[in-house]
Structure 1
Amino acid sequence: MTDNKAFEPMEHVDTILFDLDGTLINTVDLIVASFMHTMETYYPGEYEEKDVIHFIGPPLSETFEKLDPARIQEMTDTYRTFNHEKHDELVKDYEGVYETVELLHRQGYKMAIVTTKRSDTALKGLRLMGLDRFFDVVVALDHVENYKPHPEPLEKALKQLGSSADRALMVGDSHHDILGGKNTGTKTAGVAWSVKGREYMEMYEPDVLLETMPDLLKVLNVHAGNRG
């Protein structure tokens, strides 16, 4: 559990908004490989894995626009074709995620996915990890005009869940998630397993930093036999 803030259980929270990649499912190897494939296609020999780590988080269009505005769609198509082909081979789980989400679902928490991925790819990952049955609400890139940290996707998820920001917690591995939560008015939880590192997450001052996903149960004061 984070040691940079006094730990106070969020017992008033009944709604959890989760980022997907790097938070619930381990897509780091897949994303890095997809970016490396794309970079080698268009900029052979110019990028290493440590360089493309910085591309993780925002939508592909934002990343590729900075590289070459004239080839955004072409580069995006190259990335996605490789990404879909290698998806099931390279995506892994995070220890404790399934058990934590299952328990929260059983306890009646309202839960949604809020991601900067397209919905088809997001659902592919959820199904692969067996998490799809816990999430009736998935707000993806193709469902909104503005992506995190803009509050639109979080507000859309809250509306579909019949909840409000003051009862919600946004959980994620990126500053897009933490700032998105702050901009919406939710509590925020960063994950220490972010590929960008613990110090990166702490910079954005989430309300709590989770060492493992089961720590979320401590934050919410949830026990296997009861809620709260």
Structure 2
Amino acid sequence: MKAILFDFDGTLLNTNDLIIQTFMHVLEERFPGMYKPEDCIQFIGPSLKETFEEIAPDEVEDMILKYRTWNHEHHDELVTEYEGVIETLEQLKSQGIRLAIVSTKRRDTIERGLDIMGARHFFEFWIGIEDVTNVKPDPEPVLLAIEKLGVDKGEVMMIGDNYHDIEAGKNAGVKTAGVSWSLKGEAFLKQFNPDYILYHMSDLLSIVKG
């Protein structure tokens, strides 16, 4: 394995509470009493545009703006780091494994999370929603990352906490891994047949040697 592509939210940084609380703030204002926190789990993964096109098709841009405003204001207080992520990234980098991020978030939001983690220096680049026409599960973001890295797709793995990540990797022809700490659960991810399930981020260290 020469390169690893990571989803960001829910994979490298625990943003689950932030995302759910942001959705609840926006939805409670527009649809009081209609949604509970557990209902918002389904919205983790898809782009905001996709989600709000289903929920409020006539108010998509307004809903996205409200979401991003509240999310930005409360970001730093509601995110936490997953155990072993920084240590594993350090070891992968020292072994010459090339690292990049492929997310459905905006680049500035990815960068804010990376700065909280102190992890910018591990990654060659990050691809956000504004860098592509089609988001995951379309293969476009993964194929763009492979092109930027200049590596053979057979030496690349896509890792994420949602089926969008696994399907995007498969559609692009790379290896895939789901993370067991996904809020949607290991059993949910296994339905999409990733090549690997990670039970701890350090599991990657043995996979890349294989």
TM-score class, shorter: over 0.9
Contact 1:57 1:116 in 2 (8 A): yes
Residue 109 of structure 2 is aligned to residue 121 of structure 1: yes
Q: Which runs of 4+ in 1 moved over 4 A?
A: none
Report the Cα offset of residue 135 of structure 1.
1.1
Aligned to 2:157: 169
Partner of 1:40: 28
Of 58, 62, 73, the residue aligned with 1:85 is 73
Please name the residue that 2:40 is paired with.
Answer: 52
Q: Distance in 2 between matches of 1:34 and 1:163?
A: 38
Identity %: 50
Residue 131 in 1 paired to residue 131 in 2? no
Aligned AA for 2:124?
D
Aligned partner of 2:92 in structure 1 is 104
Q: Could you tell me how far 1:108 is from its partner in structure 2?
A: 1.0
The one-letter amino acid paired with 1:161 is L
Consecutive unaligned residues of structure 1, counting only runs of 5 or more, are: 1-12, 222-227
Structure 1 segment 1-228 matched on structure 2, within 5 A = 13-221=1-209
3-state SS of paired residue (1:160): helix
Which amino acid in structure 2 is aligned with residue 113 of structure 1? I
**1:86 positional shift:** 0.5
Taking structure 2 as the reference length, the TM-score comes to: 0.98
**Partner Cα separation in structure 2 for residue 124 and residue 159 of structure 1:** 25
Cα pair 2:138 2:171 within 8 Å, conserved: yes
Q: Secondary structure at the match of 2:5?
A: strand
Segments of 5+ residues of structure 2 without an aligned counterpart are none
Number of residue equivalences: 210
| Cα distance between partner residues in 1 of 2:13 and 2:184 | 15
Distance 1:218 1:193 in 2: 19
Query: Any idea what SS the aligned residue of 2:171 has?
Result: helix
Classify the secondary structure of the residue corresponding to 2:70: helix
Q: CA RMSD in A?
A: 0.9
Whether the 8 Å CA contact 2:159–2:178 is kept in 1: the answer is yes
